[in-house]
Structure 1
Amino acid sequence: MGSPAAAAPGVAASQRRTSEPLASRIVLRIGVVIAAVIGYFGVRGLTDSSQTKALRDAARVEAAERGLHLDWEPTLQSLVVNEQAITRLLNWIYIFGHWPVIALTLIWLLSRHPELYARAACAMLLSGAVGLVSFAVFPVAPPRLAALGMTDTVTEQSHAYRVLQPPAFTNQYAAMPSLHVGWNLLMTLAVLAATRAVWLRVLAVALTMSMDATVVLTANHYVLDAFAGAVLAQLSWYMAGRLVMRRHRPTTQDGDQLSPPVGVPL
């Protein structure tokens, strides 16, 4: 029997061989997500609808909000719009609390919780597909472009947003549903499923709640946009869970799928 010292080089070599495919898989999967996101924004930019229809559909959203007593956007923004420190913070949340947070979360999930990564990525693709259809069929001008007297704080006070999301990849009438809200919520759901660390769970929830408020206070979305984005994200998370669980469910020798293990979140 060989000594542990003699076996160590072989173990190390085996670990290197195992880590190399893992690294390549991580790079490949991240590349797939990036390609999907670029494709999403490319198509979204091409579905730039007419201003007349977008304003007409925005009026319908505003009418629905009045009927539900949810037409809070001008009142809420008036409370903060003259406070430069607050609007700067809101702009930072809107810009850097979205794509950077999504990218870091997906990388963390892929390296630590690959099944949850698969679920989150699938949910993003599902909700993104629904979003593209909605943007094309029901384009909605955001509050900043409607006759509500609101200020576009992100565009007027910050230049970083157009660096992260160039105008060529932007449809300014893609307000309903808010995927700014929806995709942040998907990251929070993934983090809550992945860890029991209290500080990380609290941070994830805080980021989602702050984004919910930010999209309204910066005049980029209506309250109903945010609500629709959250509902779409929840439904996509559920459907992605079903799809991923079916894909990874073990089978018997006869090809029948076994029941999922107890405790697997849907």
Structure 2
Amino acid sequence: MNIVALCAHRARYMVSKALSGRSPRVSRPTAASSRIALRIAPRIGIVLAAVIGYFGVRGLTDSSQAKALRNAAHVEAAERVLHLDWEPQLQSLVVNDQAITRLLNWIYIYGHWPVIALILIWLLSRHPALFSRAAGAMLLSGSAGLIAFAAFPVAPPRLAALGMTDTVTEQSSAYRVLQPSAFTNQYAAMPSLHVGWNLLMTLAILAATRKIWLRVLAVALTMSMDATVVLTANHYVLDALAGVVLAELGWYAMGRLQNRARRQQRTTTRDTNHPAPSVFVLTGQRG
């Protein structure tokens, strides 16, 4: 049978199947896709549990105003000693420009959770190892942050007697849609996880790609949030620095854990592929 006849026979067969009214065969999921789903599902579950726990515990640790204001005064005193008490002066440069404050509000609101969610989805689909490292670093730094919020509540500059304007609350209501007041601790200023977690996304992107435009956007992501949390009177400079340190420690710790796991896996694979010689080989005897 030549190629023309073979094609004609195949075409007649397909037409007859279509006219017979039989439902097309639905392919079953392959073993590979099932393995991928089983590997991804726990990771997504861990991230969702961490986010729910973060909001829930953060809301439950809302401490008294008097204690938070006293701790804020301690932070302000430390900044004066370190010559970092820049918050009122910096905000005075932009607070009267409505276009700039609107941009800062958008960065604070939409440049955090929505951006983090998109980056985590991208990492999960393209770079699962980096997803695990970033998510694990978020979990570690978030746990440490919750302990700090409960043990050392700090009122943000917008609630302290610094004469600063709460631009996010006064000019926008979208923030309370993304973070309802029931799950928000207004005295959780130290450390700034807004800064820390954006930095983790930046580190993950820098490790994942060599594309210049993506790397520039990654750096802009963290630099813009660093400036925004201070200019909107939501965090002190020391809060931002503490968030950076906490995120870096979480990123480093997860990297060490992943490297150790890879070394153990290579050792196990090598031992499996090259088992130890039997006693007969060592003694030169036959079995």
In which range does the TM-score fall when normalised by the shorter chain? 0.7 to 0.9
Instruction: Decide which of 102, 105, 130 is 2:116's aligned counterpart.
Output: 102
Deviations 1:7-58 (A, max 9, x none): xxxxxx6985423442454354223212211111101110111111100000
RMSD of equivalent CA atoms: 1.9
Instruction: Decide which of 267, 271, 274 is 1:252's aligned counterpart.
Output: 267
Whether the 8 Å contact between 2:43 and 2:132 is mirrored in structure 1 is no
Closer, same or farther in 2 for the Cα pair 1:86/1:253, shift >3 Å?
closer
Normalised TM-score (structure 1): 0.87
C-alpha distance in 2, partners of 1:14/1:186?
38
Instruction: Decide which of 191, 204, 208 is 1:190's aligned counterpart.
Output: 204
Match of 1:113 in 2: 127
Match of 1:174 in 2: 188
Whether the 8 Å contact between 1:139 and 1:174 is mirrored in structure 2 is yes
C-alpha distance in 2, partners of 1:41/1:108?
23
Q: Which has the larger radius of gyration?
A: 2
Q: Does 1:60 align with 2:74?
A: yes
Q: CA deviation at 1:101?
A: 1.0
Q: Which runs of 5+ in 2 are unaligned?
A: 1-26, 272-287
Deviations 1:109-149 (A, max 9, x none): 11111111111011001100110111111110000000001
Match of 1:219 in 2: 233
Match of 1:139 in 2: 153
C-alpha distance in 2, partners of 1:87/1:255?
58
Instruction: Decide which of 189, 192, 205 is 2:219's aligned counterpart.
Output: 205
Q: CA deviation at 1:248?
A: 3.3
Q: Does 1:148 align with 2:162?
A: yes
C-alpha distance in 1, partners of 2:238/2:260?
33
C-alpha distance in 2, partners of 1:234/1:27?
26
Look up the equivalent residue of 2:61 and give its one-letter code: T
C-alpha distance in 1, partners of 2:179/2:39?
27
Query: Where does 1:23-38 land on structure 2 (aligned, <5 Å)?
Result: 23=37, 25-38=39-52
Match of 1:262 in 2: none
> What secondary structure, in the 3-state scheme, does the structure 2 residue paired with 1:132 have?
helix
Q: Does 1:78 align with 2:92?
A: yes
C-alpha distance in 1, partners of 2:240/2:165?
18
Query: Where does 1:39-54 land on structure 2 (aligned, <5 Å)?
Result: 39-54=53-68
Q: Does 1:228 align with 2:224?
A: no
Q: CA deviation at 1:81?
A: 0.6
Match of 2:23 in 1: none
Closer, same or farther in 2 for the Cα pair 1:219/1:241, shift >3 Å?
same
Match of 1:125 in 2: 139
C-alpha distance in 2, partners of 1:27/1:94?
30
Whether the 8 Å contact between 1:140 and 1:173 is mirrored in structure 2 is yes
Q: CA deviation at 1:86?
A: 0.4
Whether the 8 Å contact between 2:47 and 2:135 is mirrored in structure 1 is yes
Whether the 8 Å contact between 1:26 and 1:111 is mirrored in structure 2 is no
Q: CA deviation at 1:247?
A: 2.5
Q: How many residues align?
A: 245
Match of 2:36 in 1: 22
